[in-house]
Amino acid sequence: MTLTEFLQHLANGISLGSLYALIAIGYTMVYGIIRLVNFAHGDLLMVATYMAFYGMLLFSLPWPLVFILAVILTTVMGVTIERVAYRPLRDAPRITVLISAIGVSFLLQNLGLVVFGGRSKAFYVPPFFATINHIGETAVPNLVWFIPLVTVALLMILMHLLYRTRIGMAMRAVARDLDTARLMAIDVDQVISFTFVVGSSLAAVGGLMWGLKFPQINPLMGAMPGLKCFIAAVIGGIGNISGAVAGGFVLGVGEILLVAFFPDLAGYRDAFAFVLLILTLLIRPTGLLGERVAEKV
Amino acid sequence: MLKIRDLNVHYGGIHALKGINLSVPEGRIVTLIGANGAGKSTTLRTVCGLVKPSNGEISFCGESLVGQKTTAIIKKGITMVPEGRRVFPDLTVHENLVLGAYARHDHKAIEEDMERVNTLFPRLKERRDQLAGTLSGGEQQMLAVGRALMSRPRLLMMDEPSLGLAPVLVQDIFNIIHRINNEGMTILLIEQNAKAALELADYGYVLETGCVALSGTGQELLADDRVRKVYLGES
Ligand SMILES: Nc1ncnc2c1ncn2[C@@H]1O[C@H](COP(=O)(O)OP(=O)(O)O)[C@@H](O)[C@H]1O
Ligand SMILES: [Mg+2]
């Protein structure tokens, strides 16, 4: 493999890793705050891409506007899911809420099959993203640098939100100790809703960029990325945001380089995530940056 | 100021409070003593709305608190220093104090209270930007009390503030409680250290397995034979 080829693969890996990171943050934040693996999170990718697809097809709106609307509507959807499927179960055993999350995921997937049909659709990729640029010998489409750029910008906004604002401070407090946060007169439900706003909007942005990168969309498209991003969050240490980002990049870059160096293993691409998950759980169950999180009752 | 009437609390099958009556008059220090598992923490947690009573009445300045959300109860002017301090370890000392005033929007008054807490606990000022988890046990207790004061409460409830502290620090804590009370704060204090608590308090209740076994002024309880035997370790 030449250096040029290696750099090309690396760029691809970083851009895929960015997507994993964006989506993994939603898993980790929700887990951190209500100790729930939100299985419906991955399906928000699908929701976002279909909204964008129909926004352009039916209303022929310009794509930047469509993308913004899709992010907003997907966020509303994510918050609504929490409101109707998780909040009423706040005092129920955790397994009950988990089952509810799996139910929501199946509901979204099957609703997608009924409403949108099972056949894959071609997602519109604006010419800007497909334009190929040459950096030295390396040829990369604009999308490849655009994705990490958006990711870094969003991460900076997220860090500002968490560490420099009132609601961010409340989110960190609720994630650490629910009852004591209540004693600070923090409206815990409101903070949880806000956490879903953040997680869902990142997933929506991730989903749209996913659609641009892999422009064939179908109602089940969220399942595998969702699973992988959950794995990324576990590898990084679930509950820890920097960990989710690290896990996302490890998974994305690792997956691409594995296939690059061992083309014979291309068919096992998806298995890589699971192997990494098993290794993590065996060697370092708390993940790369994780600490033991207290069980919440 | 605070009145509890016939309060019953169940945790699943466990009957933790069996109809207790208790009242805390304005401006006083009332203490609640009793062995481990007697139901002291449960009483305070129920007042704060963290635990739901099965029946009974809790009123604060004439208003019923039963069924209200914790947020609403705190906003009425009640606060609690929880058992085991429970500072937020990965937030800074300053952030912990700011959270204490989370429900308030009177920025000038919050600044004043911040000053007051810093005067009361100069150590906290020195450690303003340090993570609370890196403080010593005594400093964390100061922070927990300071954080509670930041909500500008009318009733301050404290759950075993001296637990696990060195004797010199225990004395500090009792001095602080005394001082805050002199400035007009009403205090409901849970203590393992029965002697110190009864000496400080205007009135005391002895809780035994979910029932009020005895009550009286601090002096009366200190003089009581049973209290002396069981809680003060005298023979
Ligand atoms: N969360 C809980 N779930 C079940 N039982 C509890 C819980 N908290 C306390 N209890 C029980 O209620 C009783 C009173 O406990 P508590 O109020 O903590 O006592 P104290 O503070 O006086 O030591 C004990 O028997 C304890 O085991
Ligand atoms: Mg207790």
**Could you tell me the residue ranges of all domains in chain A?**
3-283
Q: From chain B, which residues contact A within 8 Å (Cβ)?
A: 48-50, 70-71, 74-75, 79-80, 82, 86, 88-91, 95, 98-100, 102-103, 147, 151
DSSP single-letter state for residue B168: H
Q: Are the CB atoms for A30 and A195 separated by under 8 Å?
A: yes
What CATH number does the domain containing B71 carry? 3.40.50.300
Q: Which domain holds residue B4?
A: 1-77+187-235
Q: Among A135-139, A206-210, B35-39, B47-51, where is mean pLDDT lowest?
A: A135-139
| Residues of chain B above pLDDT 70, percent | 100
Residue A296 has pLDDT above 60, yes or no: no
Q: What is the reported pTM?
A: 0.92
pLDDT band at A138; cut points 50, 70, 90: confident
pLDDT of residue A293: 53
Instruction: State how far the alpha carbon of B232 is from the alpha carbons of A266, A291, B192, in Å.
Output: 75, 42, 10
Residues of A in contact with B88 (CB under 8 A): 172-173, 176-177, 180
Q: What are the backbone angles phi and psi of residue B173, rounded to the nearest 5°?
A: -60, -45
Instruction: State how far the alpha carbon of B218 is from the alpha carbons of A50, B25, B31, B164, B192, in Å.
Output: 71, 14, 8, 24, 15
Name the pairing type of β-strands B186-191 and B29-34: parallel
**Ligand 1, pocket-test mutation among B41, B54, B83, most atoms within 8 A of CB:** B41
**Quick check: is B129 in a domain?**
no
Report residues of chain B scoring pLDDT below 50: none
- Inter-chain touch B71–A186, beta carbons under 8 Å: yes
Residue A295 has pLDDT above 50, yes or no: no
Burial class (CB in 10 A: 0-12, 13-18, 19+), A169: buried
Chain B contact for A173, CB < 8 A? yes
pLDDT of residue A148: 96
User: Is B20 a pocket residue for ligand 1 (Cβ < 6 Å)?
Assistant: no
Measured distance CA(B163)–CA(B82) in Å, rounded: 11
Residue A292 has pLDDT above 60, yes or no: no
Q: ipTM score here? A: 0.93
**Quick check: is B108 in a domain?**
no
Chain B contact for A172, CB < 8 A? yes
Task: Enumerate residues with CB within 5 Å of ligand 2 (an ion).
Answer: B 41, 83
Q: Are the CB atoms for A221 and A46 separated by under 8 Å?
A: yes
Domain count, chain B: 1
**Quick check: is B162 in a domain?**
no
For domain A3-283, the question of CATH label 1.20.140 is answered with no
pLDDT band at A135; cut points 50, 70, 90: confident
Atom 1 (ligand 1) nearest CA: B11
Residue position matching structure tokens 């942005």: A205
Q: Which residues contact A64 (CB under 8 A, 6 or more apart)?
A: none
- Is the dihedral angle over the CA atoms B111, B113, B115, B117 positive or is it negative? negative
Chain B contact for A87, CB < 8 A? no
List helix spans (H) across A35-141: 43-59, 63-81, 94-116, 127-130
Chain B contact for A170, CB < 8 A? yes
Measured distance CA(A238)–CA(A247) in Å, rounded: 10
